[in-house]
Structure 1
Amino acid sequence: MNPNGNPLSGEVAVAPPSNGVHISRRIKRITETQEIQIRTTHRRRKLLTRSGVLAGFGLAMFVYPVMGNVVSYQDAIEHVPGVVVGEAPTTGHALLGNGPTLIPSRLPLPSVDDQAHFMATSEKYQVSSILPDCLPHAEYPGENGKLDPSLLCTLWDGNLLRADAALALAQLNEQFKSYFGRDLCIYQGYRTYEEQVATKRSRGYLAATPGKSVHGWGLAFDLCDGDDRGAPKAWLDANAATYGFENPDWAKWRKYEPWHWEYMPGTQALGVYGAAYWEGDGGLGDGAEPPTSTGGSTAPAPVQTEPPADQRPNPTPEPVPGAN
């Protein structure tokens, strides 16, 4: 191009770019971008829709057969064998048909008192957490006042009882302690033959003949002074029988001994109060030989207990001459 602005020979004049061309290209790019975004959005929506359908199908196939359907099927009853008309089946029932049914159990659990009662009146005992070293036995052989130490158990205060009676008394004491806040006060439990001789010598008429005392079988205990009357005695009268213990009738009417309690399952098994053994003051004559236990089948001589030396009733009833 020469200085005058005219093109030289051989040169081609080029027209300046038009603004319309630039605008057209920009609009084209914007349009293409929008189309790409629209196509991407459509693909995402299709993917989400398909995923939702698959998730719903999986839920219907796996969850409903297990959980059942909340909404009853009105028309499915006629197509499910074994379904009683009027009962709407669940989804699982409609799909799987009849099958094993779990029936909910609503049996009431035994109370603490019921459990204690079953334990106390059962012939078979389990090891007690209260007396963990006290092991029950199937049989209790031996002679009155001469029981093998392995058949006896030590109570919380050092007194001894036969194992089955000790386990039952431990349960009774737990209930007593929960009510009064303390243990039962036991004056004496098992008595050896020598101790029975000494008691007979000191108590005379009120003591059993040595070798015939229920204490000698480890089935009786005497309460300390205070627990044989008032609120403790009333509580025992109402609750002791649940655990197998009673203040026997003779201790209420023949010789007043409210402190004396016996384990009745043991005395009944031994036949202590059989009619053939009653005479005079409630026991055999002094000339009778004391029986020997052969595991609970042989009955010992019936007996009344003697009161503790420092616990005579106030006032102490006097023997009535000629009374039976």
Structure 2
Amino acid sequence: MSDRPLTNLDFFDGGPGAGACFRSDQPAVAQNIMSERYKAHHLTCLAGEHDFDFFHVGAEVPVGSFNVLRYGSHVEIEPGAFKDFFMLEMPVAGGARVQQGGMHLGSSYDTALFLSPDQRIHSVWTSGTTQLMLKIKRSELITRWQKRLDDPVAELPDVSPEIDLNRPAGWRIRRLMHLLYEELERSLRFEDESVTQTPLAAAVIDNVFEYWAQAHSHLLEGPTFRILPVHIKRSVAYIDSHLSKDLKVSTLARIGNVSERAIYDGFLKFLKRSPKQYILERRLHCARQDLIAGKGSVAGVARKYGINHLGRFSQYYRLRYGENPSETLLQG
């Protein structure tokens, strides 16, 4: 496999599966297509429209979707915040300048970007840029990170969005993205849906986690709860056994045989969150597992884990996982 493949997209012209591909020399058409595929955004040609040559092909994969995208021209893209998904952008030609929140980032053949929800994105693609892009559902990434750490309430780390593709895990990310491209091409050639079941996309996520660990060695240390003091261990165990109950700090203090202040301070020190926040996150996590398994209705699952206000449950759940509980139930 060549280290610099994929800049020639002639395979997709008129061949099998060509209906899955989109081409246009009109920026307005491209904007409409990509707004439907990703989210509403604004597209501007910075060097005129004479060399605009939009191309897009993509497919659903287990973690989200895999896409090949080119605009041809020098363009500015303003999508706002992604909200419910992360985006891995890896140029195979050209590059982009991206502003995420207050950070100014750059992508190229040697540098990919892993862009997050909840921060406004503004990007400028140089002329001739072609990118491989893996759109990852927010809920999928969070769940996989928590499973990786064996910590059901772990939060995603605050790390740089830039990925050096020459580092070991970065090199693997690039090769896996190339393989995803080849699997997409093969799936279209044979007009099957094999790419929708590919394990390669999940392997990309695993190597993003490995990259974070290589850059920040503390990120994949053992789960926090294994080194908890006795009174916090007792509190955690009690919470997990009584999620349907009205849990109070005073009850946890009695279970741990300490003061309420000791409970509060212990949760902040060892679990990095207040008792109230920990209880909510555990309820949401257990509810999500039931929804994925199809165990009951949204309202029934919420009540099972002690959240009796359905509107608040949906609000908390959406903030945590980037999707509505009904969407999780439908997917499950």
Q: Using structure 1 for the length normalisation, give the TM-score.
A: 0.22
- Which of the two has higher C-alpha Rg? 1
Relative to its length, the structure with more helix (as a share) is 2
Q: TM-score, normalised by structure 2?
A: 0.22
